[in-house]
Amino acid sequence: MTRRISIFGATGSIGQSTIDLIARDPDAYETVALTGGRNIAQLASDAIKLGAQIAVTADEKRLAELRDALAGTGVEAAAGRQALIEAASRPADWVMSAIVGAAGLEPGLRALQTGATLALANKESLVCAGPLIMRTAQAHGTHILPVDSEHSAVFQALIGEDLATVERIVITASGGAFRDWPIEDLAKATPAQAATHPNWDMGQRITIDSASMFNKALELIETKEYFGVSADKIETVVHPESMIHALVGFNDGALMAHVGTPDMRHAIGFALHYPHRKSLPVERLDLVKLGQMTFRDPCETRWPALRLAREVMEAGGLMGAVFNAAKERALDAFIAEQITFPRMAGVVEEVLSDLSTYESHNPAEITLDKVAEADHLARVRADEIMAQ
Ligand code: NDP
């Protein structure tokens, strides 16, 4: 039986890896919607290749370009935020949520409301609106399958286990581009240097977030929201080889690790075939060739984002949405070379302190509108702080 699939953020790094897997078995899938942003040529060529019902660009100004590229192919073209939401509301069995940033929240939520299984790469959804996302999945009797490699690893280590026996979850971190730089040199780091990852091939924003560990910070919060464990049970460790993606420690002292080469098709393929395992076109790990794996303490002076993540987890409420939005604006400013690399954490810390009233929101009452408000105010405040 064919499965109806949609891919949000199809033109990005995760989207392309997902298409790579889908395209290897075309008869198994029927593509409903593919969405992208600025990369119209990629979006159109993939939509034609997979025979999608509809291709949507988030950028309204690019509709004519998309229409031209799809003329005579039978693939519908649409553009803009509303079109994106409409595409997410089309019935599908499996939806990949791989838009970058808070912009990925609403399409994922709509997909859950149709009853689709949501393969969730967009970690920002859980950071900004964890209780809302989890509640929506439950209300519609559907699953969220984590695609972040760390969370896929934890999910796999927990299969058949009782969550009450979990003592700790350890999320590994490569340490990113500046792992070995002297801390005093970080103020001179450029966006191009930050966007070079030692192990993973990912989109520009997440690669820079890996260097600052804001990506890891988001993942710690994502762990709390997805697995429902308290902040004191979630740890991180620097593991430069990126071969162990995460570990789960149980009450008998056992520590279960998920080990594999750094290729996102492991986690995407697992989510695509779940609850089954199918052969994947990923490199098999040669342990002898690897020789050794090393671990280091995650220094919070070098990576203050880790301390901020802990504060956000402890605060709860809508502080995740505030944290993410402030981080997105600080990252925009760093990419535009308006602020230095270390300043990003300073900006986020100030916004968290200024908008601490969002701590008091009851998780059961979090709505999309409240998340949007917190997100908006955090962006405004971040811009004000950076303009001073
Ligand atoms: P990319 O930047 O490579 O791709 C992002 C995708 O989102 C592209 O299709 C882009 O379109 C689209 N997009 C960008 N802005 C918007 C917007 N405002 N509205 C709608 N669509 C938009 O990102 P990644 O694939 O690296 O990451 C995607 C998500 O997955 C992120 O949340 C990231 O944290 C997460 N993730 C990524 C991993 C990785 O290995 N890359 C690993 C684990 C999680 P276009 O390019 O056409 O402009």
Q: Mention every residue, 6+ apart, whose C-beta is less than 8 A from residue 288.
A: none
User: What is the rounded distance in angstroms from the CA atom of residue 152 to the CA atom of residue 5?
Assistant: 20
Average pLDDT of the chain? 97
251 Cβ contact partners less than 8 Å away, ≥ 6 residues apart: 165, 166, 167
Contact 86, 65 (CB under 8 A): no
The one-letter amino acid code at 311 reads: E
Q: What percent of the chain has pLDDT over 90?
A: 97
What letters, b where the CB count within 10 A reaches 16 and e where it falls short, cover 238-266? bbbbbbbbbbbbbeeeeeeebebebbbbb
How far is residue 35's CA from residue 39's CA, in Å, rounded to a whole number? 10
Cα–Cα distance between 151 and 226 in angstroms, integer?
9
Q: Is the CB of 325 under 6 A from ligand 1?
A: no
pLDDT over 90 (residue 42): yes
**Model confidence at 198, in pLDDT bands (50, 70, 90)?**
confident
Instruction: List, edge to edge, every strand of the sheet that includes 117-120.
Output: 76-79, 54-57, 29-36, 3-8, 94-97, 117-120, 144-146
Which candidate, 183, 181, 178, places its Cα nearest to that of 195?
Answer: 178
The pLDDT confidence band at residue 360, using thresholds 50, 70 and 90, is confident
Per-residue pLDDT, 270: 98
Atom of ligand 1 nearest to the CA of 40: 47
269 Cβ inside 6 Å of ligand 1: no
User: How many secondary structure helices (H) and strands (E) does the chain include?
Assistant: 16, 11
Decide whether any atom of ligand 1 lies within 6 Å of the 124 Cβ.
yes
Count other C-beta atoms under 10 Å from residue 269's C-beta: 23
- Can you say whether the dihedral through the CA atoms of 284, 285, 286, 290 is positive or negative? positive
What mean pLDDT is predicted for residues 325-330? 98
As a whole number of angstroms, the distance between CA 26 and CA 101 comes to: 29
User: Is-contact 87 78, C-beta < 8 A?
Assistant: yes
DSSP tag of 296: B
Ligand 1 neighbourhood includes 198 CB (under 6 angstroms): no
What is the rounded distance in angstroms from the CA atom of residue 37 to the CA atom of residue 205?
Answer: 15
Residue 165 has pLDDT above 90, yes or no: yes
β-strands 255-259, 244-250 pairing: antiparallel
Asked if residue 343 has pLDDT above 90, the reply is yes
The answer to whether the beta carbons of residues 101 and 205 sit under 8 Å apart is yes
Q: Give 229's pLDDT tier (boundaries 50, 70, 90).
A: very high
Closest ligand 1 atom to Cα of 39: 47
Ligand 1 pocket test, candidate residues 99, 120, 147, most atoms within 8 A of CB: 99
Backbone dihedral angles phi then psi of residue 117, each to the nearest 5 degrees? -75, 130
> 116 C-alpha to center of ligand 1: Å?
20
The segment(s) of the chain belonging to CATH 1.10.1740.10 are: 316-388
57 lines ligand 1 (CB under 6 A): no
By most ligand atoms within 8 Å of CB, the mutation choice from 13, 16, 124, 220 for ligand 1 is: 13
pLDDT in tens, 235-266: 999 999 999 999 999 999 999 999 999 999 99
Between the CA of 9 and the centroid of ligand 1 the distance, in Å, is 6
Q: How far is the CA of 332 from the centre of ligand 1 (A)?
A: 14
pLDDT in tens, 287-311: 999 999 999 999 999 999 999 999 9
- Confidence band, pLDDT 50/70/90 cuts, at residue 197: confident
Higher per-residue pLDDT: 234 or 364: 234
Q: Is the pLDDT of residue 200 over 90?
A: no
Q: How far apart are CA 133 and CA 124, in angstroms?
A: 11
Measured in Å, residue 251 CA sits from the centre of ligand 1 at: 37
Nearest ligand 1 atom to the CA of 43 is: 47
Q: With cut-offs at 50, 70 and 90, classify the pLDDT of residue 342.
A: very high
How far, in Å, is the centroid of ligand 1 from the Cα of 113? 22
pLDDT for 239 equals 98
Whether the per-residue pLDDT at 201 is higher than 90: the answer is no
CA 289 to ligand 1 centroid distance, Å: 33
**123 sits in which H/E element:** helix 123-139
- C-beta of 38 in contact with ligand 1 (< 6 A): yes
Check whether 15 has a pLDDT greater than 90: yes
Q: Among all chains, which residue has been given the structure tokens 């502080």?
A: 319
Please, where in the chain does CATH 3.40.50.720 lie? 3-146
> How much is the average pLDDT of 62-78?
98
Q: What is the pLDDT of residue 361?
A: 86
User: In which band, very low, low, confident or very high, does the pLDDT at 199 lie, cut at 50, 70 and 90?
Assistant: confident
- pLDDT score at 378: 98
- Superfamily of segment(s) 3-146: NAD(P)-binding Rossmann-like Domain (3.40.50.720)
The reported pLDDT for the residue numbered 1 is: 82
359-373 in b/e form (b: 16+ CB < 10 A) is bebeeeebeeebbbe
* % of the chain with per-residue pLDDT over 70: 100
Cβ(345)–Cβ(329) under 8 Å?
Answer: no
150 vs 324: CA distance, rounded Å: 19
Cα–chain center distance at 289:
31
Q: Which residue, chain included where needed, has tokens 């559907």?
A: 142
pLDDT band at 171 (very low <50, low <70, confident <90, very high): very high
Radius of gyration of the chain (CA): 20
Atom 11 (ligand 1) nearest CA? 37
What pLDDT, on a 0 to 100 scale, did the predictor assign at position 263?
Answer: 96
Which CATH architecture fits 316-388? Orthogonal Bundle (1.10)
pLDDT of residue 351: 98
How many angstroms is it from 34 CA to the middle of ligand 1?
Answer: 13
Nearest CA to ligand 1 atom 40: 202
Cα–Cα distance for residue pair 366/380, rounded to 1 Å: 21
The residue whose CA is least distant from atom 23 of ligand 1 is 203
Q: Judging by beta carbons within 10 Å of its beta carbon (0-12, 13-18, 19+), is residue 116 exposed, middle or buried?
A: buried
Span from the CA of 7 to the centroid of ligand 1 (angstroms): 11
Residue keyed to tokens 């990126």: 242
